[in-house]
Amino acid sequence: MRRCAALLLALAVLLPLPAHADGFSTYVSTFKAVAPDISGIRVRVPSNGEDINVANTGATPLIVYGYQGDQYLKITSEGVWQNKLSPATYLNKEQTIGAIPADANATKPPVWVKISDTNHAQWHDHRIHWMGVSNAPVVQKDPKHAHLINNWKIPIASGTQKADITGTLTYQPGGHLGTYLTYGAIGLAILVILGLQVIILRRRKAASAS
């Protein structure tokens, strides 16, 4: 029974509810393109829509810019570096706006700290998800239909070539029905397992008593 309780807790942690959900509705962030295209750059937005993953398979370091035009990340074939003076380094640690230390400065030359030996970085970026505490105004007016909330972009540079990672943020009513059904199926399965364990324990006690 303890194992089942532990399993239930683990599933609750690993399968978080959709961010900013309203019933079965949610906001969806989708990668569109790197414009203009830079060879060797691969981008994806994981299913939660609040993180972005960027890989650099080329020979030239890729710079990702923060919210104030500062150099935030440097992604290369040999690893990933983060600018510890970039305000984005601290802002991106939180789903809401986090605290920025006094020594962070978007205008100073970057101070790079290596954070990974891989050729890709994944981070939480406030530019690609809905930041409001309540639903967007257009959603409040018409929550039953899909809406384009905004077109987002993240500035990058590879050598002298500048570009933007672009995408869209949309509102999708009923977009997470499958997630809730999954929760229901998992909950039912755990209840069945608990019930079977209770029956087994009772039979063992009855057998030992006789």
CA distances from 37 to 164, 166, 206 (A): 9, 11, 72
CA gyration radius for the chain? 23
List pLDDT tens digits, range 107-144: 999 999 999 999 999 999 999 999 888 999 999 999 99
Residue 22 clears pLDDT 50, i.e. is over it: no
List pLDDT tens digits, range 41-51: 999 999 778 89
More confident residue, 48 or 4: 48
Got the DSSP string for 104-135? --TTSPP-EEEEESSSEEEEE-TTSS---SS-
Instruction: List, in sequence order, every residue forming a beta bridge with 179; answer none if it has no partner.
Output: none
Reading across the β-sheet that carries 51-56, which strands appear in turn? Answer: 41-44, 51-56, 120-124
- Residue whose pair of structure tokens reads 């959900």 in the numeric block: 21
Q: Is the pTM of this model over 0.85?
A: no
| pLDDT at residue 207, rounded to an integer | 75
Residue 150 clears pLDDT 90, i.e. is over it: yes
- At residue 7 the predicted structure's pLDDT band, cuts being 50, 70 and 90, is low
| pLDDT at residue 180, rounded to an integer | 60
